[in-house]
Structure 1
Amino acid sequence: MVYLCVKLQIMLDQSTICAISTSPGMGAIAVIRLSGENAVFITNKLFRSPQKNKSLTAQKANTLHFGQVIYDNEVIDEVVVALFRAPHSFTGEDVVEISCHGSVYIQQKLLEILVESGARLARPGEFTQRAFLNGKMDLSQAEAVADVIASSNAAAHKLAVSQMRGGFSKEIGQLRDQLLHFTAMVELELDFAEEDVEFADRTELRKLAEKVEQLLRKLKNSFQLGNVIKNGIPVAIVGETNVGKSTLLNALLNEDKAIVSEIHGTTRDVIEDVVNIHGTAFRFFDTAGIRDTEDRIESLGIERTYHKLIEASIVLLVVDTENPCEVVSRRIEKIRKRMADEQQLIIVANKIDSGKTETIESLKKVKLADNENLVFMAAKEKRNLEELISRMTQAINISNVEKEDIIVTNARHYEILKSAHEATVRILNGLDSGLSGDFLSQDIRECLHYLGEITGEISTDEVLGHIFKNFCIGK
């Protein structure tokens, strides 16, 4: 009911909106978009076709028209106008897209005369918001539009496109339909409480609740992976001073980002950069070398090293094979103790071109856990760099991600899924303890409420405003 009230309130705004939909600045072409019941009428007032007396208002939907935009008897530009008729358009309203030359002056002038002719400038995300309000997409799909635009790597793009096409919404919708059926049956029992009749089969309800709980848990747990894919896999490069951490970073980035020196303690702060490798974004952190020091500034850098180690999904522990076996072994064990089970550790045995034979042989015998890998490298010459990249890609299971049905990447969805999962656990506990139908119904309705918040079937003005204000203008 809240959703419907908000929807009707916003739908009262029947104005025609306009905005530049292409990237800001000068380019070869630009696209200006209008949406609203007067979109075609307003455009027609300014448009002149080479064919005399051709009116855009009489043209069919999904057609292109070449002509000029004329204002005050002055030719502003030659343009191509695309017509889309309601309800078969992105917003569900009449939509016009004007393709003009990419001059900043032309773009601004066209916007100015469109506003003077009866349109108004669109707010951030208003085109997508209208698409949502007109039932062209649900709220999770609308949010995915922004993710598609912002995607900077193949993996993030794949997840966003999947969500935009409604894969996530379909999963949530099926759960809601099944839960709605059972809550209706449970509440029907309340009308026949004196007859002690059960309309809702408790065995079937338990099977459904278990299925919902498992799926919600799976979706909730997928956020950790989905979030790092969307924002870049955090990779911390750690190790003692002068083992080649900065050299490794430069090799991975293919540029001299970090200062390389034989002087110990050169890196005193965290150096961060993002690189797209084989369609996946990795966020690398080159950290201060770990050692005992009385230098206060260097000590602060080492403290930050341990913070970044905790935050990372993958830890590249660089060890120097020129050092004795005992030194290398102690460092590996020290880092292992600071890592969580879900983190991936890749031990990078560096300087194999000049390393001690006994150290290299000793490392070959190191017992590795399931979340650990070992790569022998000469970072300065980039020897075995591709092997390291391969191990990093394998460590985050990108191949498995592509086979997953749904991966959650949105923080809002994650928080709602947590609450929905808690409600489902209460349903199962209630069934175990023989809870009465009215209490079971309350928990089911709470779960339904949270699932509805994801798709926008239940929403508020504040939530919608927060979501769409983060969109770019023109989308």
Structure 2
Amino acid sequence: MTNNDPIIALATPSGVGAIAVIRISGNESIRLVSPFFKSKSGKILLDQKSHTLHLGHIYDGERILDEVLISVFKNPYSYTGEDVVEISCHGSVYIQQEIIQLFIKNGIRHASPGEFTLRAFLNGKMDLSQAEAVADLIASDSSTSHQIAIQQMRGGFSNEIEELRTQLLNFASLIELELDFSEEDVEFADRREFKALIQKINSVLKRLIDSFALGNVIKNGIPVAIVGEPNAGKSTLLNALLNEEKAIVSNIAGTTRDAIEDEIVIGGVTFRFIDTAGIRETKDEIETVGIQKTFQKIEQAQLVIYLIDGTTLKSESQLEKHLSEIKRIEERSTQKKILVLLNKTDQISEKKIKEILHFLNKNITEEVLSISAKDKTGLENLTAHLQNLLNKGALSNNQTIVSNARHFDALHNALKSTKDIVSGLDKGISSDLIAIDIRQALFHLGEITGQITTDDLLGNIFANFCIGK
């Protein structure tokens, strides 16, 4: 894990482009690159200062591979904390590979996934939570996921965890001191003050744990299942939201046999819409499988949009049937939000729309919205409603939001240990037993920032990085 042999990888996406960047890191990297680079100004690369740029050519023997711009970063003032050379060459795949293979033949190893960032962590350039934020930043596909990743990479989360750990360590040292004087039966740590601190730490831990509900959906997107009877306009609604013909639309009931999914960013949050097969009794084997998949998608979704075709509502009994279906969905998934939409309002009168909405709003907790997916009327109201369903108050207030499942588990374990500390203090247990719970809490907090790690943990984390980062 502490090996600092020189490594090389393409730092920009693979494929043809105007420019490609090849990154080399390791304590011998500048020395190994220098013989193959001829500066236009005649300078020797090995003699140049850190954070300088040099224009010249990369040579393989007498053959010029490319005209390049080389950046030099000397340790410890680099991304990895080692000597780093970055070669900006022309974006031809052939040129990229020729340069990489040249240095691999001359003592530089191809980097493993995430190895540059792993070295940055091992060399103290960032802690583990910041390193993980690098991967989240690369993967961010919305303004909110980008905001969370940036805040974590800049150390917002790390600072909060470190503050908790420091406060706990101060009292831990006093408790440990008591163990050294156990025969004298003295107390160096004020138990009331210590209990107040632990309760304060618990409230912070709970806030961070609760933030994961928001952070997780922002990071991974909110799955939204669009359900309803056949021909209710589910596929038309999906196409209208995506502004493209993603799903086949037909007057024939049961056109959608399999779930169709696509994503759209609304208000900086990614929503993953799932168009499902219409729910009805059918003898068609393929359609039956599709309906079974509909209920599977309902289970997986965090939000269910239930679509009602307003043109089919001829009696109150039909509305009752829809209410019964909505109740069935609620019973199968009590934790999900269900948003009911009255569709095809362009084909029914204003009076009838009001009557239907009045009946539905009397029997449904959430407000029922009216839309015409075909004409795209009411969609602005729908998207605004979708944004309001997600409480982004913590994000707006720039609070720390946990989006990493590993951090969430470590916080849970830390909270369990701090609760054990409070319980021990209430029961008046001995200092040696309290010290065990304190050590456990410190261990779990240290897991987040990487003060406590194992090779397996680091291997699992950095294996998910792209090569070159």
Q: TM-score, normalised by structure 1?
A: 0.93
- Structure 1 residue 125 corresponds to structure 2 residue 118: no
Aligned CA distance change for structure 1 residues 144 and 308 (closer, same or farther; 3 Å)? same
What is the CA distance between 1:97 and its match in structure 2?
0.6
- Structure 1 residue 93 corresponds to structure 2 residue 82: yes
Residue 159 of structure 2 is matched in structure 1 by: 170
Residue 5 of structure 1 is matched in structure 2 by: none
Counterparts of 1:326 and 1:432 in 2: how far apart (Å)? 60
Q: Please say which of residues 375-384 and 423-432 is displaced more in the overlay.
A: 423-432
Paired positions, count: 464
What is the CA distance between 1:355 and its match in structure 2?
2.8
Contact 1:320 1:355 in 2 (8 A): no
Aligned CA distance change for structure 1 residues 122 and 133 (closer, same or farther; 3 Å)? same
Query: Residue 102 of structure 2 aligns to a residue in which SS?
Result: helix
- Structure 1 residue 344 corresponds to structure 2 residue 334: no
Identical counterparts, % of pairs: 50
Q: 2:132 aligns with which of 129, 143, 156?
A: 143
Cα deviations across residues 24-49 of structure 1 (Å, max 9, x unaligned)?
Answer: 01111100111111111112111111
Residue 426 of structure 2 is matched in structure 1 by: 432
Counterparts of 1:228 and 1:458 in 2: how far apart (Å)? 28
Counterparts of 1:362 and 1:103 in 2: how far apart (Å)? 62
What is the CA distance between 1:313 and its match in structure 2?
2.1
Residue 40 of structure 1 is matched in structure 2 by: 30
Aligned CA distance change for structure 1 residues 327 and 16 (closer, same or farther; 3 Å)? same
Aligned CA distance change for structure 1 residues 101 and 251 (closer, same or farther; 3 Å)? same
Q: Please say which of residues 301-310 and 172-181 is displaced more in the overlay.
A: 301-310
Contact 2:361 2:367 in 1 (8 A): no
Q: TM-score, normalised by structure 2?
A: 0.94
Flag as ranges the 4+ runs of structure 1 deviating above 6 A: 368-371
Query: Residue 435 of structure 1 aligns to a residue in which SS?
Result: coil
Matches for 1:244-255 after TM superposition, within 5 Å = 244-255=233-244
Residue 241 of structure 1 is matched in structure 2 by: 230
Matches for 1:197-276 after TM superposition, within 5 Å = 197-276=186-265
Contact 1:320 1:328 in 2 (8 A): no
Consecutive unaligned residues in structure 2, runs of 5 or more? none
Residue 25 of structure 1 is matched in structure 2 by: 15
Cα deviations across residues 114-161 of structure 1 (Å, max 9, x unaligned)?
Answer: 122322111111110100000000011101101111111111111111
Aligned CA distance change for structure 1 residues 120 and 369 (closer, same or farther; 3 Å)? farther
Q: Please say which of residues 91-100 and 297-306 is displaced more in the overlay.
A: 297-306
Query: Residue 256 of structure 2 aligns to a residue in which SS?
Result: coil
What is the CA distance between 1:292 and its match in structure 2?
2.7
User: What code does the residue aligned with 1:335 have?
Assistant: I
Q: Please say which of residues 368-377 and 15-24 is displaced more in the overlay.
A: 368-377
- Structure 1 residue 300 corresponds to structure 2 residue 289: yes
- Structure 1 residue 328 corresponds to structure 2 residue 346: no
Q: 1:105 aligns with which of 85, 94, 108?
A: 94
The root-mean-square deviation of aligned C-alpha atoms, in Å, is 2.0
Counterparts of 2:388 and 2:302 in 1: how far apart (Å)? 12
Counterparts of 2:123 and 2:7 in 1: how far apart (Å)? 15
Residue 354 of structure 1 is matched in structure 2 by: 347
Q: 1:412 aligns with which of 403, 406, 410?
A: 406
Counterparts of 2:193 and 2:361 in 1: how far apart (Å)? 48
Contact 1:146 1:471 in 2 (8 A): yes
Residue 5 of structure 2 is matched in structure 1 by: 15
What is the CA distance between 1:302 and its match in structure 2?
2.4
